[in-house]
C-alpha cells in the first residue's frame, strides 16, 4: 500500500492540479458574480423602461425570478422606437470612446483574443461590455445575455493570467475557462458551458480539448454562485418528459433540420450584411447603434400594431425568452403559425440591426428564440397532418432551439447538452442529436462567429506547436528547390580552383565527388575560410579532399521535411546534401533552411485558404 501511494504521488502532479483548481475556482467566482450583477442591472432597467414606462407586457421564463416588481404602465407606442434608439446612442458612446473592441457580440471578441491576440483582453473591456449590454438590452435592443457574460469571464481569465505572469498558453486556457463560466452561469448549464468553450473556437468538428477541464471547474463554480442568488431550477419550466418513441418521427425531424439549417444561413447572411452596410455609413460610429436601435423599435411597433398580438410580438425586442416559455407551457398550441414565423423573421431582423450596427449583446439568445419559433411552426404543421407521429409540437421547439444554433455556430455537441439543461428535458437527447448533426453538416459553410478558425492548423495559437506535424506531411523532394544549380567539387581540386568555382555561389555546403561522380565527403563555408587562412600562413597547397569531412550531412529524397529541419537544428547547419533513396552516394541537390521555412509558410497559407473556401458563410463579411 505504501509503495502504491508513493508511486501515485510521483505520477500525479499535485502542484499543477492544485494550481488549476485555484485558478478555475477564482475565474468561476468572478464570472458568477459578473453574471449576477449583469442580471440584476438588466432586470431593473428592463422593468423600469420597457414595462413601466413604455407599457410593454413582456413575459419571462418560468425559471427566472426578479426582486423588482414594476407595474405595467399604459402602452406608449412612440417609446417603442425612442427607447432602443436612446439605448443604442448611450451604448455607442460608451463603447466607441472607451473600448471599441467591446462592440458587437462579445463571444466573437473572446474567440479572436484566443486565436490572434495571445489571449489578451484589456481590463476595461468586460466592464464596458457589461454596462453597454445592460443599456442595449434593457432599453429594448434585441440580443442575448451570454455574449457579455462570456466576455466578462474571458476578460477576467486573461487579466488573472497576466497579473500572475503565466504563460501565453495558460492565459488562453483561462480565457476559454472564462467563456465557459459565463455561459454555464447565465444559462444555468455548467456542462454545456464547459463544452461550449472548447467547441466554439473552431468551425469544424475540432475541439480545444485541453481547455475542457479548467472550463469545467470554472463553469461549475460560476453556476453555483449565480444559482445561489437566482435559483437552481431550469430557465424554462414545464417542459415535461416528452420523449422519443416513434421511429417515424425521424422524418419530420429531418425536415426540421433542413429548415433550421437554412434559416441559420439567412440569420448569418442578414447579420453580416447589415453589419457591412453600417460599416459603410459615413457617420460617426457612436451614432450607428442609435440608428440600429430605432429601426429595431420600428419593426417591433409595426408587428405589434399589425397583428394586435403584443404578448408574443414584443419578444422581437430584448432577449425574447418569454415566447419560448409560452410555447412550452401551451405545448406549442394556441399560437398561430403566422405569428411564429413573424417572430422568427422579426428576431433575425432586429438582432441584426441591434448588434450588427455596433450595439452590445449576444447572438446565442436570439438564436434560441428563432429556433424555438421555427421548430414549433414545423411541429404544429406535422401535428395537424400526422398527430399520431408528432403528438407534442413542443418537442420540435426544444429540438429546434438546438438545431438552429448548431447550424448557426458550428457547435453541435455543446448545444445538445445546452438545451437539455435549459429545459430539464433529457428525454429528447436522441432526436436533438439527430437534428443537430444534420443541421451542422448542412451548415458547415457558415457561422455567426466570424472569428472562428477552421482547425488548429489554421489557428495562430497553435502555429508553433503544430510546426512539426505540418512539416511531417511534406517530403524533401517536395520542399527542395528543384531548379537550384549547385556546385560539386572534385577530390583533387586545389584551393585556387575551388575559390574560382565557389566565388559566385551562395552555397553553404559543398559536396566532394570522386572520379566516378560518387559522393566521398563535403565541407562548409567555414571550412573553406579556415583552409584559406591556413594556406596563407603555411604556404601549403590544400585540396578539396583534405578539407572535406567524410561524414557530411546528407538526407534522402523521401525523408520528411520535419526530419530535415531537426537535422539542421541539431547540428547547427543551414543546408543538407540531398541524395537518392537507393544510392546515398549520388547527390541530386541541396535543401536549405529557407526551403523548409517556405514550405511551412505555404502549408499554413493552404490551411487558411482552405478555411476560407470551406467556410463561405463563415467569412460572410
Q: Is residue 3 part of a domain?
A: no
* Residues 438, 333 share a domain: yes
Asked whether the CA dihedral 29, 33, 35, 36 is positive or negative, the reply is positive
Final residue before a domain boundary, out of 445, 461, 477: 461
Final residue before a domain boundary, out of 412, 428, 461: 461
Q: Is residue 608 part of a domain?
A: no
Q: In terms of residue numbers, what domain contains 489?
A: 467-602
* Residues 138, 50 share a domain: yes
* Residues 415, 472 share a domain: no
| pTM higher than the cut 0.85 | no
The pLDDT value recorded for residue 509 is 86
* Residues 204, 178 share a domain: yes
Long-range contacts of 609-616 (CB under 8 A, 24+ apart): 610/454, 610/458, 611/203, 611/453, 611/454, 611/455, 611/458, 614/203, 614/204, 614/444, 614/445, 614/454, 615/203, 615/444, 615/445, 615/446, 615/447, 615/452, 615/454, 616/445, 616/446
- Provide the CATH number for the domain around residue 547: 3.10.580.10
Q: Which grid cell is 343?
A: 417572430
Residue in 174, 191, 179, 119 with CA at minimum distance from that of residue 153? 179
* Residues 437, 379 share a domain: yes
Distances (CA, A) of 132 to 1, 139, 319: 59, 11, 15
* Residues 213, 66 share a domain: yes
Q: Is residue 235 part of a domain?
A: no
Q: What is the total count of domains within the chain?
A: 3
* Residues 196, 84 share a domain: yes
CA angle 103, 108, 113 (to 5 degrees): 95
d(CA 338, CA 353): 22
Q: Is residue 448 part of a domain?
A: yes
Q: Is residue 619 part of a domain?
A: no
The pLDDT value recorded for residue 621 is 36
- Residue 58 makes CB contacts below 8 A (sequence gap 6+) with 46, 50, 51, 314, 315, 317, 318, 322
Final residue before a domain boundary, out of 461, 481, 511: 461
* Residues 276, 204 share a domain: no
Q: Is residue 180 part of a domain?
A: yes
d(CA 438, CA 197): 22
d(CA 304, CA 319): 17
Coil, strand or helix at 191: helix
* Residues 308, 224 share a domain: no
* Residues 333, 300 share a domain: yes
* Residues 485, 421 share a domain: no
The pLDDT value recorded for residue 515 is 85
Q: Is residue 181 part of a domain?
A: yes
- Provide the CATH number for the domain around residue 440: 1.10.3080.10
How confident is the chain (621 residues) per 10-residue block, as mean pLDDT?
Answer: 49 69 93 94 94 90 84 92 96 91 81 89 89 94 89 91 89 94 93 94 88 93 94 87 87 97 96 95 94 97 94 92 92 89 97 94 92 96 93 94 94 92 91 95 89 80 63 79 83 82 80 88 78 60 76 86 82 86 89 82 62 43 36
* Residues 293, 259 share a domain: yes
Q: Is residue 360 part of a domain?
A: yes
Amino acid at each position: 500500500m505504501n509503495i502504491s501511494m508513493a508511486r501515485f504521488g510521483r505520477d500525479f502532479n499535485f502542484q499543477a492540479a492544485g494550481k488549476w483548481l485555484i485558478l478555475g475556482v477564482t475565474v468561476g467566482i468572478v464570472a458568477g458574480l459578473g453574471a449576477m450583477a449583469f442580471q440584476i442591472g438588466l432586470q431593473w432597467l428592463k422593468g423600469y423602461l420597457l414595462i413601466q414606462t413604455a407599457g410593454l407586457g413582456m413575459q419571462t421564463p418560468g425559471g427566472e425570478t426578479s426582486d423588482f416588481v414594476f407595474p405595467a404602465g399604459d402602452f406608449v407606442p412612440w417609446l417603442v422606437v425612442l427607447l432602443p434608439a436612446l439605448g443604442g446612442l448611450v451604448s455607442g458612446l460608451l463603447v466607441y470612446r472607451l473600448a471599441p473592441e467591446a462592440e458587437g457580440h462579445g463571444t466573437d471578441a473572446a474567440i479572436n483574443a484566443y486565436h490572434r491576440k495571445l489571449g489578451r483582453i484589456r481590463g476595461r473591456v468586460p466592464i464596458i461590455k457589461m454596462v453597454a449590454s445592460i443599456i442595449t438590452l434593457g432599453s429594448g435592443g434585441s440580443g442575448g445575455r451570454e455574449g457579455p457574460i462570456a466576455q466578462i469571464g474571458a476578460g477576467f481569465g486573461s487579466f488573472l493570467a497576466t497579473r500572475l505572469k503565466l504563460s501565453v498558453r495558460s492565459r488562453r486556457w483561462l480565457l476559454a475557462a472564462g467563456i465557459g463560466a459565463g455561459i454555464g452561469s447565465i444559462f444555468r448549464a455548467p456542462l454545456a458551458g464547459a463544452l461550449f468553450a472548447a467547441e466554439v473556437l473552431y468551425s469544424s468538428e475540432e475541439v480545444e480539448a485541453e481547455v475542457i477541464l479548467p472550463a469545467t471547474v470554472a463553469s461549475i463554480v460560476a453556476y453555483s454562485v449565480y444559482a445561489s442568488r437566482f435559483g437552481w431550477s431550469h430557465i424554462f419550466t414545464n417542459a415535461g418528459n416528452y420523449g422519443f418513441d416513434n421511429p417515424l418521427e425521424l422524418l419530420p425531424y429531418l425536415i426540421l433540420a433542413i429548415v433550421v439549417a437554412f434559416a441559420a444561413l439567412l440569420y448569418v447572411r442578414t447579420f453580416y450584411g447589415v453589419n457591412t452596410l453600417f460599416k459603410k455609413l459615413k457617420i460617426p460610429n457612436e451614432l450607428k447603434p442609435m440608428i440600429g436601435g430605432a429601426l429595431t423599435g420600428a419593426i417591433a411597433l409595426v408587428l405589434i400594431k399589425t397583428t394586435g398580438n403584443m404578448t408574443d410580438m414584443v419578444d422581437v425586442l430584448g432577449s425574447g425568452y418569454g415566447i419560448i416559455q409560452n410555447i412550452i407551457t401551451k405545448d406549442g398550441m394556441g399560437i398561430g403559425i403566422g405569428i411564429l414565423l413573424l417572430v422568427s423573421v422579426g428576431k433575425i431582423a432586429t438582432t441584426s440591426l441591434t448588434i450588427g450596427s455596433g450595439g452590445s449583446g449576444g447572438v446565442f439568445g436570439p438564436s434560441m428564440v428563432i429556433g424555438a419559433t421555427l421548430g414549433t411552426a414545423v411541429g404544429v404543421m406535422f401535428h395537424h397532418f400526422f398527430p399520431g407521429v408528432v403528438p407534442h409540437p413542443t418537442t420540435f421547439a426544444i429540438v429546434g432551439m438546438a438545431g438552429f444554433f448548431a447550424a448557426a455556430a458550428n457547435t453541435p455537441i455543446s448545444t445538445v447538452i445546452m438545451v437539455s439543461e435549459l429545459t430539464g428535458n433529457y428525454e429528447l437527447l436522441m432526436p436533438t442529436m439527430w437534428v443537430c448533426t444534420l443541421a451542422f453538416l448542412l451548415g458547415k459553410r457558415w457561422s455567426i462567429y466570424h472569428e472562428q478558425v477552421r482547425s488548429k492548423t489554421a489557428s495562430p495559437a497553435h502555429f508553433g506547436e503544430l510546426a512539426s506535424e505540418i512539416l511531417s506531411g511534406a517530403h524533401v523532394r517536395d520542399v527542395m528547390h528543384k531548379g537550384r544549380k549547385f556546385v560539386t567539387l572534385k577530390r583533387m581540386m586545389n584551393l585556387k580552383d575551388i575559390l574560382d568555382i565557389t566565388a559566385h555561389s551562395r552555397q553553404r555546403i559543398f559536396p566532394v565527388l570522386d572520379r566516378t561522380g560518387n559522393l566521398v565527403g563535403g565541407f562548409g563555408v567555414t571550412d573553406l575560410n579556415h583552409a584559406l587562412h591556413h594556406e596563407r600562413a603555411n604556404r601549403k597547397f590544400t585540396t578539396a579532399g583534405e578539407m572535406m569531412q567524410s561524414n557530411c550531412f546528407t538526407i534522402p529524397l523521401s525523408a520528411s521535411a520535419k526530419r530535415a529541419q531537426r537535422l539542421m537544428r541539431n547540428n547547427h547547419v543551414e543546408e543538407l546534401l540531398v541524395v537518392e533513396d537507393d544510392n546515398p552516394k549520388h547527390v541530386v541537390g541541396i535543401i536549405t533552411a529557407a526551403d523548409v521555412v517556405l514550405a511551412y509558410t505555404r502549408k499554413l497559407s493552404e490551411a487558411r485558404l482552405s478555411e476560407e473556401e470551406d467556410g463561405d458563410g463563415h467569412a460572410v463579411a
